[in-house]
């Protein structure tokens, strides 16, 4: 319990990251990033929108000038970030009741695009001191305030005649909360930013002063409606028709004595008692399922297998006629270690799976201890790719050892296949999807230089590491030793019962692991699609569920393999992998159900991206758990036949 509470509350900065303090009068840059929507999978760079004020380049904020692009890590680029310095002027401790930014002329085509973005409820992401601008809310019991990252760019207004009017938010009130630096820094006037709140508002252009500011002293204002001016209706919204939108902003600095800098990300996480209880329910559910499977495996080991080993040894001394009295896995000891079909491909798949296991375990550990967290923007993807590249060493090693175990010789070709299999398939799929996204002018589209960088990382990092691991595994470590040699003539596999056929076995084997993580998937899906303004950061619970999931996959794969051997089917290599990976089919089915029942994603392109990326994620997950299932089955098969001494 204390460990999980610690992991759940790890809303601390990444290890090694120090806070930045400011003094009164110091200029602080406001960065604009992108807009995103829970109803679309397409993101757009904020500065490329038709209605925003283009940066002038005149504002200086520290070492940055407005309009300058911020250098991004690989993870930020892959997640669609496009961060730029804006013209919004923020000076520590200096309030601005109203300040004019610009008047932006928007064409008819721009108006239509803006209306569509507002209708799809797009939200803007701004950043100050690495904190995303947030919309503030109060909890249901009014006991605490929390943040939802981002703010809406406009509002749909429904008049009496049911015609939609679109109001654009052309004024923002920025509230920045600060806290004094503890210790000697407080005496020097140093302050740190602990909160960044954005309150957008739509204000009509009528009645404004000469400087473009709205009338002062008025509490309410008419909204700015995106419509053709009345004196231009005769042109019937031709391409030459445009409107001018004035943009203004206010800035207020407020001291927050309670919120410290190291806890400032707590505001973005709603760790209510209800959600914690649901997480505990998920863990209890996982323990129950894993416990039932453990009981089944225990019965298989203690009552069935140990008693049957003596029968195997006796089978080596009895006649063929007497051997017919024996049944099940005892009869396939001479074929159980026969190389599978497509042995080279199988070696590459298992090697890639071990690479993925290494990367996944590393990410979960780094997240659980707080090294990876939302303040490290793009960190999950960047570190994940780094771990994946380094894991090429393990992929080459395990793949080559298994390759030699199957009696194959061209280990260099095997290493190339192992290093190319997963990256090649993922790159091809993402490249094709990238073409569709590029047509939509979305920031989700990867730049050409990023694609080249990914190829370079594979060519100059992963491939050499895979070759090093492959060389050592094939030439130095050598093949795995099997307790029994395969017979010269393969044994004929008898017909199976309906419940032991491959598809049924795979579905049954995958159902238990799916149920283990079903509840936790609700939180992951909600963070990814239903609540993009929130963050999933309960890796303490995820770590526990992940361990239970691994145990469940191991036990389900072992039981499925045992049932296959009992039916005198010694083709267990691929089947053990598929039994372990079959929970990916259940997850994809649940993903489709979630799409149709929970989400409000509209548009063909968004639907295509949802299912395409969902299928890729399920395939990667299937490779991960499939490899775990095979490795467990391999250990299981070697263990039970190691006690058999047959000439």
pLDDT along the chain (647 residues), means of 10: 41 56 93 94 94 86 84 92 94 94 93 94 95 86 82 85 84 95 71 95 87 73 78 48 92 92 82 62 82 81 63 53 54 87 97 97 88 86 95 97 95 96 95 92 91 95 97 94 83 67 77 88 84 68 87 92 86 93 96 93 91 96 97 92 66
pLDDT at 485: 85
Q: Please check whether residues 325 and 357 belong to one and the same domain.
A: no
pLDDT at 645: 58
The span from the first CA to the last CA of the chain, in angstroms, equals 54
**Cβ count within 10 A of residue 301:** 15
Q: Please check whether residues 309 and 362 belong to one and the same domain.
A: no
Half-sphere exposure in the Cβ direction for 468 (13 Å, CA): 12
List beta partners, residue 132.
127
What sign for the dihedral angle of Cα 612, 613, 614, 620? positive
**Which pLDDT tens digit goes with each residue over 23-72?**
999 999 999 999 999 999 999 999 999 999 998 888 777 678 888 999 99
Nearest Cα to Cα of residue 517 among 455, 418, 590 = 590
Q: Residue 69 gets which letter from DSSP?
A: B
pLDDT at 508: 84
Q: Please check whether residues 312 and 445 belong to one and the same domain.
A: no
Q: Please check whether residues 513 and 470 belong to one and the same domain.
A: no
Q: Please check whether residues 202 and 286 belong to one and the same domain.
A: no
In the chain, count H helices and then E strands.
18, 18
pLDDT at 368: 82
| Rg of the chain over all Cα atoms, to the nearest angstrom | 30
For every residue of 136-169, DSSP letters joined together read EEE-TTSS-EEEEESEESEEEE--TT---EEEE-
Does any domain span residue 13? no
Does any domain span residue 612? yes
Does any domain span residue 146? yes
- Read off the tokens for 199: 């309150």
Domain extent for 207: 24-269
Indicate the angle between helix axes 604-642 and 539-566, nearest 10 degrees.
60
- Read off the tokens for 36: 């995103």
- Phi, psi (degrees; rounded to nearest 5) at 606: -65, -40
In the numeric block, the tokens 């601008």 are attached to: 133
Q: In what order do the strands lie in the sheet with 171-180?
A: 96-107, 242-255, 171-180, 191-201, 134-138, 145-149
How far is residue 298's CA from residue 5's CA, in Å, rounded to a whole number?
Answer: 32
Does any domain span residue 409? yes
**Cβ count within 10 A of residue 345:** 15
H-type helices in 440-538, by residue range?
448-457, 463-471, 502-525
Q: Please check whether residues 165 and 287 belong to one and the same domain.
A: no
pLDDT at 331: 80
Q: Residue 87 gets which letter from DSSP?
A: S
Does any domain span residue 189? yes
- How many residues are there in the chain? 647
Q: Please check whether residues 201 and 220 belong to one and the same domain.
A: yes
Does any domain span residue 17? no
> Count of domains in the chain?
3
- Phi, psi (degrees; rounded to nearest 5) at 90: -120, 125
Q: Please check whether residues 329 and 413 belong to one and the same domain.
A: no
Half-sphere exposure in the Cβ direction for 240 (13 Å, CA): 4
Q: Please check whether residues 262 and 314 belong to one and the same domain.
A: no
List beta partners, residue 125.
34
- Phi, psi (degrees; rounded to nearest 5) at 84: -135, 145
Q: Please check whether residues 236 and 106 belong to one and the same domain.
A: yes
Q: Please check whether residues 144 and 46 belong to one and the same domain.
A: yes
Contact 423, 438 (CB under 8 A): no
> Distances from the Cα of 424 to the Cαs of 301, 353, 417, 420, in angstroms?
41, 15, 10, 5
Tell me the pTM. 0.88
Q: Please check whether residues 386 and 258 belong to one and the same domain.
A: no
How far is residue 526's CA from residue 536's CA, in Å, rounded to a whole number?
Answer: 9
- Read off the tokens for 635: 């250990």
Residues 6+ apart with CB under 8 A from 498: 504
How far is residue 207's CA from residue 520's CA, in Å, rounded to a whole number?
Answer: 53
Does any domain span residue 486? no
Give the domain-ending residue among 269, 295, 328.
Answer: 269
Beta strands in 550-597 (DSSP E): none
Residue 82 class from Cβ within 10 Å (0-12 exposed, 13-18 middle, 19+ buried)? buried
- Read off the tokens for 326: 């024996």
pLDDT at 312: 54
3-state secondary structure of 229: coil
List beta partners, residue 592.
none
Does any domain span residue 178? yes
């Amino acid at each position: 319990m204390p460990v999980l509470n610690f992991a759940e509350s790890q809303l601390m900065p990444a290890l090694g990251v120090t806070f930045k303090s400011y003094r009164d009068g110091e200029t602080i840059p406001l960065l604009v990033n992108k807009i995103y929507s829970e109803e679309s999978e397409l993101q757009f760079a904020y500065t490329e929108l038709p209605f925003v004020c283009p940066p002038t380049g005149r504002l200086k904020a520290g070492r940055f000038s407005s309009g300058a692009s911020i250098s991004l890590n690989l993870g930020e680029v892959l997640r669609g970030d496009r961060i730029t310095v804006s013209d919004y002027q923020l000076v520590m401790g200096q309030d601005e009741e109203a300040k004019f930014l610009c008047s932006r002329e928007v064409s008819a085509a721009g108006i239509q695009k803006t209306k569509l973005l507002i209708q799809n409820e797009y939200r803007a992401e701004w950043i100050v001191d690495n904190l995303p601008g947030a919309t503030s809310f109060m909890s249901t019991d009014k006991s605490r305030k929390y943040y939802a990252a981002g703010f809406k760019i406009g509002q749909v207004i429904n008049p009496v005649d049911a015609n939609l009017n679109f109001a654009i938010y052309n004024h923002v009130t920025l509230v920045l909360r600060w806290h004094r630096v503890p210790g000697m820094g407080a005496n020097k006037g140093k302050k740190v930013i602990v909160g960044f709140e954005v309150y957008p508002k739509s204000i009509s252009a009528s009645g404004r002063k000469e400087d473009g500011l709205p009338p002062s002293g008025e509490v309410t204002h008419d909204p700015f409606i995106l419509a053709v001016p009345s004196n231009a209706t005769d042109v019937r919204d031709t391409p030459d028709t445009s409107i001018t939108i004035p943009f203004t902003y206010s800035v207020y600095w407020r001291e927050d004595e309670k919120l410290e800098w190291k806890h400032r990300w707590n505001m973005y996480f709603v760790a209510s008692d209800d959600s914690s209880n649901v997480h505990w329910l998920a863990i209890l559910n996982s323990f129950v399922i894993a416990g039932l499977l453990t009981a089944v495996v225990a019965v298989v080991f203690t009552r069935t297998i140990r008693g049957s080993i003596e029968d195997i040894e006796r089978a080596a001394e009895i006649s063929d006629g007497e051997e017919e009295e024996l049944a099940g896995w005892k009869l396939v000891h001479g074929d159980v270690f026969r190389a599978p079909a497509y042995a080279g491909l199988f070696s590459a798949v298992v090697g890639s799976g071990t690479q993925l296991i290494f990367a996944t375990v590393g990410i979960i550990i780094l997240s659980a201890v707080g090294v990876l967290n939302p303040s490290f923007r793009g960190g999950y993807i960047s570190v994940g790719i780094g771990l994946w590249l380094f894991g090429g060493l393990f992929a080459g090693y395990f793949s080559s050892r298994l390759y030699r175990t199957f009696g194959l010789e061209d280990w260099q070709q095997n290493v190339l296949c192992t290093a190319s299999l997963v990256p090649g398939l993922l790159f091809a799929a993402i490249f094709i999807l990238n073409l569709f996204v590029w047509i939509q002018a979305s920031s989700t589209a990867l730049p050409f230089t990023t694609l080249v960088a990914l190829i370079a990382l594979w060519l100059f990092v992963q491939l050499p590491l895979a070759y090093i691991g492959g060389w050592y595994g094939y030439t130095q470590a050598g093949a795995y030793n099997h307790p029994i040699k395969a017979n010269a003539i393969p044994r004929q596999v008898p017909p199976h019962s309906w419940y032991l056929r491959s598809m049924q076995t795979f579905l049954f084997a995958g159902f238990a692991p799916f149920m283990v993580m079903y509840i936790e998937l609700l939180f992951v899906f909600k963070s990814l699609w239903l609540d993009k303004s929130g963050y999933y950061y309960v890796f303490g619970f995820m770590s526990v569920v992940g361990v239970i999931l691994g145990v469940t996959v191991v036990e389900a794969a072992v039981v499925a393999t045992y049932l296959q051997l009992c039916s005198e089917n010694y083709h267990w290599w691929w089947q053990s992998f598929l039994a372990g990976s079959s929970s990916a089919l259940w997850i994809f089915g649940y993903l489709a159900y979630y799409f149709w029942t929970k989400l409000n994603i509209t548009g063909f392109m968004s639907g295509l991206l949802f299912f395409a990326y969902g299928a890729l994620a399920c395939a990667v997950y299937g490779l991960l758990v499939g490899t775990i299932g095979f490795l467990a089955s391999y250990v299981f098969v070697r263990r039970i036949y190691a006690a058999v001494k047959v000439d």
